Amino acid sequence: MRRETRTWARRAVAAVVVMFALGYIPYHVYARSGLARTLELRRDLKALRARNALLAAEIDRLEREAEALRNDPGAIERVARAELGWVRPGEIIVDLTPPPGAERPSAFPPGPKAAR
């Protein structure tokens, strides 16, 4: 074999080795070493921390509401009126909800009929 042919063969082998290294090393680092899983877990952790912050705010709100219901007569009255429908003696109840199946009245009065 001529010397030039051997040089080109070595270059071709070297190119194949470099191509393999450039293709396999990123795959190995990203997929097989766990980099992809690490990035996914970081996203999940961020979402869970945001959810925990929302739940902590909800817990704080509920604790304040529970404390108000233990100590504040006004808060107890608001809940009794809103959720239980309680009224004080002597109050008059006016129910403006239409009975079931009744036609809902229009907000505007009927206008004159159009001439044909």
The pTM (predicted TM-score) of the whole model is 0.50
In tens, the pLDDT along 90-114 reads: 988 888 888 888 776 666 776 666 5
CA distances (Å), origin 87, targets 73, 78, 82, 91, 94? 15, 10, 10, 7, 12
- Encoded amino acid at 11, one letter: R
CA distance 48 to 15: 46
Predicted confidence (pLDDT) at residue 79 exceeds the cutoff of 70: yes
Asked whether the beta carbons of 59 and 53 are under 8 A apart, the reply is no
What the block records as the tokens of 56 is 């902590």
In tens, the pLDDT along 27-69 reads: 777 777 777 788 889 999 999 999 999 999 999 999 999 999 9
